């Protein structure tokens, strides 16, 4: 097994030794959900003051309001009682560094990890690609603030989202740790 595999299993064994959270209820205690990016620099538990059992945290590349993210938010409210939602994108997001077309091209050339030289993407290994990448909308964006507005608006307008749920829009600053309100998103999300 790999070094990472062994580290994860070892960490879990230590966690189990002092684990005392087995009686937490399924619904989140603080009755809210966060939709945010999967970026490893973001720790929603720390930046939002969460403990296990407090809130639902839904993560994907870019923290985008994809169909699956909206599915999770609807379940979070309908079956588990969340009453407020936060959409939190972040500065220096990798989703701003490529387009659907770039991703399609990279995947059609190779399935191995691509490299970014600060200006463009390239495949160091070629020849084992697939055209199936063209069928996915990678939900990239160029304007960070507008992406938050777009996602809050998409959630707000979704026919399965109750009008009384406030949807807050923020940008997390990866340099300072601060949550920065996006006024236009807030206006859309709490109207």
pLDDT tens-place values along the chain, 191 residues long: 999 999 999 999 999 999 999 999 999 999 999 999 999 999 999 999 999 999 999 999 999 999 999 999 999 999 999 999 999 999 999 999 999 999 999 999 999 999 999 999 999 999 999 999 999 999 999 999 999 999 999 999 999 999 999 999 999 999 999 999 999 999 999 98
**Residue partners of 174: CB distance under 8 A and separation at least 6:** 39, 41, 42, 90, 91, 92
DSSP state of 58: E
In a domain, 10, yes or no: no
Q: Which of 167, 166, 119, 169 is nearest to 144 (CA)?
A: 169
Whether 24 contacts 52, CB under 8 Å = yes
User: Both 121 and 161 in a single domain?
Assistant: no
In a domain, 23, yes or no: no
Whether 189 contacts 84, CB under 8 Å = no
3-state secondary structure string across 92-149: CCHHHCCCHHHHHHHHHHCCCCCEECCCCEECCCCCCCCHHHHHCCCCCCCCHHHHHH
User: Both 129 and 165 in a single domain?
Assistant: no
The CATH number linked to 61 is 3.40.1050.10
> What are φ and ψ of residue 165, in 5° steps?
-80, 120
In a domain, 55, yes or no: yes
Whether 171 contacts 183, CB under 8 Å = no
In a domain, 4, yes or no: no
Per-residue confidence (pLDDT) for residue 191, from 0 to 100: 80
In a domain, 16, yes or no: no
**Residue partners of 171: CB distance under 8 A and separation at least 6:** 88, 89, 90, 91, 144, 145, 148, 179, 180, 182
- Our CA dihedral for 100, 106, 109, 113, rounded to 10 degrees, sits at -140
Q: Which of 85, 42, 83 is nearest to 62 (CA)?
A: 42
User: Both 67 and 145 in a single domain?
Assistant: yes
The tokens for 93 are 């997001």
- Per the structure, the count of domains in the chain is 2
User: Both 43 and 72 in a single domain?
Assistant: yes
* Domain with 118 in it: 99-137
In a domain, 54, yes or no: yes
Whether 31 contacts 78, CB under 8 Å = no
Q: Is 35 helix (H, G, I), strand (E, B) or coil?
A: strand
User: Both 80 and 155 in a single domain?
Assistant: yes
């Amino acid at each position: 097994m790999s070094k990472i595999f062994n580290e994860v299993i070892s960490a879990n064994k230590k966690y189990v030794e002092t684990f005392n959270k087995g009686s937490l209820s399924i619904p989140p205690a603080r009755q809210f959900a966060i939709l945010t990016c999967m970026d490893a620099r973001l720790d929603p538990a720390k930046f939002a003051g969460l403990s296990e059992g407090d809130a639902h945290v839904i993560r994907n590349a870019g923290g985008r309001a994809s169909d699956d993210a909206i599915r999770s938010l609807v379940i979070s409210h309908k079956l588990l009682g969340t009453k407020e939602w936060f959409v939190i994108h972040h500065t220096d997001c990798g989703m701003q560094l490529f387009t659907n077309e770039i991703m399609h091209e990279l995947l059609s050339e190779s399935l191995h990890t691509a490299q970014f030289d600060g200006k463009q993407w390239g495949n160091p290994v070629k020849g084992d690609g697939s055209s199936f990448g063209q069928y996915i909308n990678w939900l990239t964006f160029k304007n960070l603030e507008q992406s938050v507005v777009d996602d809050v608006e998409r959630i707000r307008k979704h026919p399965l989202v109750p009008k009384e749920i406030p949807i807050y829009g923020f940008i997390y600053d990866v340099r300072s740790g601060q949550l920065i309100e996006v006024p236009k998103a807030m206006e859309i999300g709490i109207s």
